[in-house]
């Protein structure tokens, strides 16, 4: 049996293209994780996929980085597949046969390249964030706590002695946002 596995990084990301490619590759069962990092070992659909592994089956992925987020994890999965008597096929990387010594070596080389790619992306991201900070820009999601909301929260907390949860409900924001904003005000004072 050909078993397909896919993964998208965010919950709102569309997994249909991966599913279509896996279906076109003849996968009888397809498992796709949504919004889960490839570095997490116990992804829900990955665990379900593993439950049906049988000797002679082939695990099909669109790309190796959908299955594993590090070279160590990729090599561990390759060993697990080999021990289970299964094959591994990537739809986008060059073909390799993990049942042979040369195929395992090629897979190991692909794992090292994947790790290099992940590390390079991380380094570039960190350099970009550092540069943005040096230019006075701060990344991330904008705060919901506007100066007006902070002033209201301070008044509700100090004058009315309201709990954080009640303040959050009145302002229409999360309790954590209220706590962070008031903690910043306390530090500034």
Catalytic residues: 9
Token couple for 94? 């060059």
Distance, in Å, from the CA atom of 67 to the CA atom of 6, rounded to the nearest integer, reads 7
H/E stretch holding 58 reads strand 58-61
Helix residue ranges per DSSP H, the chain: 16-24, 44-51, 71-83, 101-134, 147-158, 164-171, 175-188
Please, is 166 exposed, middle or buried when counting C-beta atoms within 10 Å of its C-beta (0-12, 13-18, 19+)? middle
Both structure tokens of 71? 């070279």
H-only helix segments in 52-100 = 71-83
Task: Supply the DSSP symbol for 56.
Answer: T
**What tokens were used for 57?**
């089956």
Tokens for 149? 């909301």
């Amino acid at each position: 049996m050909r078993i397909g596995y896919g993964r998208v990084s965010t919950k709102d990301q569309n997994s249909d293209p991966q599913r279509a490619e896996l279906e076109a590759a003849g996968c009888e069962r397809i498992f796709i994780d949504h919004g889960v990092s490839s570095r997490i070992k116990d992804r829900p659909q990955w665990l379900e996929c593993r439950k049906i592994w049988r000797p002679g089956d082939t695990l099909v992925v669109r790309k190796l980085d959908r299955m594993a987020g590090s070279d160590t994890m990729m090599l561990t999965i390759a060993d697990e597949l080999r021990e289970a008597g299964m094959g591994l096929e990537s739809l986008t990387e060059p073909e390799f046969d993990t049942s042979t010594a040369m195929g395992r070596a090629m897979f190991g080389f692909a794992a090292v390249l994947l790790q290099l790619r992940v590390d390079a992306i991380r380094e570039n991201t960190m350099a970009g964030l550092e540069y943005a900070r040096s230019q006075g820009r701060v990344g991330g999601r904008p705060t919901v706590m506007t100066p007006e909301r902070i002033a209201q929260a301070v008044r509700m907390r100090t004058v009315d002695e309201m709990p954080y949860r009640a303040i959050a409900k009145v302002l229409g924001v999360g309790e954590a946002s209220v706590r962070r904003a008031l903690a910043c005000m306390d530090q500034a004072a």
